[in-house]
Structure 1
Amino acid sequence: MSVLDRDKYKVALVGNPNVGKSVIFGLLTGKYVTVSNYPGTTVEVSRGICSGLGGGIEVVDTPGANSLIPLSEDESVTRDMLLEEYKKHVVQVVDAKNLRRGLFITTQLAEMGLPVVITLNMWDELLDRGMNIDVTVLQEKLRVPIIKTIATHRVGVSALFSSIPNAKVPNLYVDYGKVIEEGISKIEKILQGNTTVNERALAIMLLSGDEVLEEKLRRKFPDPAFVEIHSIRNSIQAHFGSPLSYVINIKRANFVDTLVKKVTLNLKKEKETHPITRGIFFYFLVPVASFFMGYKLMALLMYLISSRFSLNGGLIFMLPLVVGGISSLGFSAYLYLKEYKTKSTIAGALGRITMHPVAAFPLLVIILWIVYKLVGEFGAGTCVDFFEEKVFGRSLVPSGGFDLSISLPFIHKTYIFTHINFQGFNYYFGLLAQKLVDKDNIIFELFLNEQSGLVQVGLTYAIAIVFPIVGFFFLAFGIMEDSGYLPRLAVMVDKIFKRIGLNGKAVLPMVLGLGCDTMATLTTRILNTKKERIIATLLLALAIPCSAQLGVISSVLGRVSGIYFALYVFIICTQLLLVGYLSSKVLPGAPSDFLMEIPPFRMPKVSNILVKTFYRIHWFLKEAVPLFMVGTLALFVATKVGILSFVERMGAPITRNFLGLPAETTHGFILGFLRRDYGAVSIFKTLEEKGGSGGINPKQLLISLVVITLFIPCLANFLVMIKEQGAKTAFLMFAFIMPYSILIGGILRVILQQFP
Structure 2
Amino acid sequence: MSVVDMNTYKVALVGNPNVGKSVIFGLLTGKYVTVSNYPGTTVEVSRGICKGLDGGIEIVDTPGANSLIPLSEDESVARDMLLEEYKKHIVQVADAKNLRRGLLITSQLAEMGLPVVLVLNMWDELLDRGMNVDVDVLQGILGVPVVKTIATHRVGITALFNAIPVAKVPNLHIDYGSLIEEGISRIHKILQGNTTVNERALAIMLLSGDEALEEKLRHKLADGSLAEIKRIRDGIQSHFSNPLSYVINIRRANFVDTLVDKVTLTLRKEKETHPVVRDIFFYFLVPLVSFFMGYKLTALLMYLISSRLPSGSILTFITPLAVGGISSLWFSLYLYLREFKAKSTIAEVLGRITMHPIAAFPLLIIILWIVYKLVGEFGAGTCVDFFEEKVFGRSLIPSGGFDLSVYIPFIKKTYVFTHVNFQGFNYYFGLLAQKVISKDNIIFDLFLNEQSGLVRVGLTYAIAIVFPIVGFFFLAFGIMEDSGYLPRLAVMVDKIFKRIGLNGKAVLPMVLGLGCDTMATLTTRILNTKKERIIATLLLALAIPCSAQLGVISSVLGRVSGIYFAVYVFVICTQLLFVGYLSSKVLPGTPSDFLMEIPPFRMPKLSNIFIKTFYRVHWFLKEAVPLFMLGTLALFVATKLGALSFAERISAPIVRNFLGLPEETAQGFILGFLRRDYGAVSIFKTLEEKGGSAGIDPKQLLVSLVVITLFIPCLANFFVMIKEQGAKNAFFMFAFILPYSILIGGILRFILQQF
TM-score (norm 1): 0.89
CA distance in 1, matches of 2:612, 2:22: 17
Aligned to 1:674: 674
SS at match of 1:407: strand
Aligned to 1:645: 645
- Name the CA shift for 1:747/1:381 in 2 (closer, same or farther; >3 Å): same
Aligned to 2:159: 156
Range moving further from structure 2, 199-208 or 657-666: 199-208
1:120 matched to 2:119: yes
1:191 matched to 2:187: yes
Aligned to 2:485: 485
Contact between 1:29 and 1:59, CA under 8 Å: does it hold in 2? no
Amino acid at match of 2:486: L
Aligned to 1:226: 230
- Name the CA shift for 1:316/1:143 in 2 (closer, same or farther; >3 Å): same
SS at match of 2:172: coil
**Structure 1 segment 373-522 matched on structure 2, within 5 A:** 373-522=373-522
Aligned to 1:173: 174
Amino acid at match of 2:356: H
Contact between 2:43 and 2:525, CA under 8 Å: does it hold in 1? no
Contact between 1:246 and 1:593, CA under 8 Å: does it hold in 2? no
Deviation at 1:665, TM superposition (A): 0.9
- Name the CA shift for 1:648/1:305 in 2 (closer, same or farther; >3 Å): same
Deviation at 1:560, TM superposition (A): 0.9
CA distance in 2, matches of 1:51, 1:609: 26
Deviation at 1:20, TM superposition (A): 4.2
> CA-to-partner distance for each residue in 1:335-377, whole Å, 9 max, x for gaps?
1111011111111111110111111000000011111111111
Contact between 2:91 and 2:164, CA under 8 Å: does it hold in 1? no
Amino acid at match of 2:159: G
CA distance in 1, matches of 2:122, 2:324: 47
Amino acid at match of 2:143: R
Amino acid at match of 1:589: G
Range moving further from structure 2, 75-84 or 729-738: 75-84
Contact between 1:12 and 1:62, CA under 8 Å: does it hold in 2? no
SS at match of 1:569: helix
Deviation at 1:734, TM superposition (A): 1.4
Deviation at 1:266, TM superposition (A): 7.1
Contact between 2:118 and 2:147, CA under 8 Å: does it hold in 1? yes
- Name the CA shift for 1:46/1:375 in 2 (closer, same or farther; >3 Å): closer
SS at match of 1:726: helix
**Identical-residue share of aligned pairs (%):** 75
Aligned to 2:538: 538
Aligned to 1:720: 720
Amino acid at match of 1:559: R
Range moving further from structure 2, 345-354 or 75-84: 75-84
CA distance in 1, matches of 2:27, 2:287: 52
Contact between 1:119 and 1:149, CA under 8 Å: does it hold in 2? no
CA distance in 2, matches of 1:663, 1:574: 28
CA distance in 1, matches of 2:92, 2:552: 46
Deviation at 1:500, TM superposition (A): 1.5
Unaligned 5+ runs, structure 2: none
Aligned to 1:313: 313
Range moving further from structure 2, 478-487 or 198-207: 198-207
- Name the CA shift for 1:320/1:129 in 2 (closer, same or farther; >3 Å): same
CA distance in 2, matches of 1:277, 1:126: 19
TM-score (norm 2): 0.89
CA distance in 2, matches of 1:293, 1:248: 47
SS at match of 1:467: helix
Range moving further from structure 2, 489-498 or 185-194: 185-194
Amino acid at match of 2:91: Q
1:92 matched to 2:91: yes
SS at match of 1:590: coil
Range moving further from structure 2, 524-533 or 385-394: 524-533
SS at match of 2:452: coil
**Structure 1 segment 204-215 matched on structure 2, within 5 A:** 204-206=204-206, 208-215=208-215
1:574 matched to 2:574: yes
1:343 matched to 2:339: no
Range moving further from structure 2, 147-156 or 96-105: 147-156
Contact between 1:149 and 1:155, CA under 8 Å: does it hold in 2? no
Amino acid at match of 2:579: V
> CA-to-partner distance for each residue in 1:483-505, whole Å, 9 max, x for gaps?
11111111111111122122211
SS at match of 1:307: helix
> CA-to-partner distance for each residue in 1:36-85, whole Å, 9 max, x for gaps?
7655434466789999999999986644433111022232233234446x
- Name the CA shift for 1:246/1:232 in 2 (closer, same or farther; >3 Å): closer
Contact between 1:22 and 1:61, CA under 8 Å: does it hold in 2? no
Aligned to 1:78: 78
Deviation at 1:88, TM superposition (A): 4.3
SS at match of 1:509: helix
Amino acid at match of 1:608: N
Contact between 1:207 and 1:233, CA under 8 Å: does it hold in 2? no
Deviation at 1:417, TM superposition (A): 2.1
Please, what is the CA RMSD of the aligned residues? 3.4
CA distance in 1, matches of 2:246, 2:61: 28
CA distance in 2, matches of 1:350, 1:53: 43
Contact between 1:184 and 1:200, CA under 8 Å: does it hold in 2? no
- Name the CA shift for 1:227/1:588 in 2 (closer, same or farther; >3 Å): farther
Amino acid at match of 1:582: L
Aligned to 2:12: 13
Range moving further from structure 2, 257-266 or 357-366: 257-266
Amino acid at match of 2:92: V
CA distance in 1, matches of 2:324, 2:57: 67
Range moving further from structure 2, 645-654 or 208-217: 208-217
Contact between 2:133 and 2:264, CA under 8 Å: does it hold in 1? yes
SS at match of 1:193: helix
Contact between 1:14 and 1:64, CA under 8 Å: does it hold in 2? no
Aligned to 1:103: 103
SS at match of 1:118: strand
Aligned to 2:683: 683
- Name the CA shift for 1:326/1:245 in 2 (closer, same or farther; >3 Å): farther
**Structure 1 segment 284-303 matched on structure 2, within 5 A:** 284-303=284-303
CA distance in 2, matches of 1:435, 1:283: 68
Contact between 2:484 and 2:602, CA under 8 Å: does it hold in 1? yes
Aligned to 1:178: none
- Name the CA shift for 1:647/1:373 in 2 (closer, same or farther; >3 Å): same
CA distance in 2, matches of 1:666, 1:75: 46
SS at match of 2:664: helix
Deviation at 1:382, TM superposition (A): 1.0
Q: What count of residue pairs does the alignment treat as equivalent?
A: 736
CA distance in 1, matches of 2:86, 2:653: 67
Deviation at 1:318, TM superposition (A): 2.8
CA distance in 1, matches of 2:52, 2:382: 55
SS at match of 1:663: coil
- Name the CA shift for 1:244/1:376 in 2 (closer, same or farther; >3 Å): farther
CA distance in 2, matches of 1:530, 1:540: 15
Unaligned 5+ runs, structure 1: 176-180
Contact between 2:406 and 2:416, CA under 8 Å: does it hold in 1? yes
CA distance in 2, matches of 1:87, 1:656: 65
- Name the CA shift for 1:253/1:568 in 2 (closer, same or farther; >3 Å): farther
- Name the CA shift for 1:62/1:416 in 2 (closer, same or farther; >3 Å): closer
Contact between 1:674 and 1:714, CA under 8 Å: does it hold in 2? yes
Amino acid at match of 1:141: I
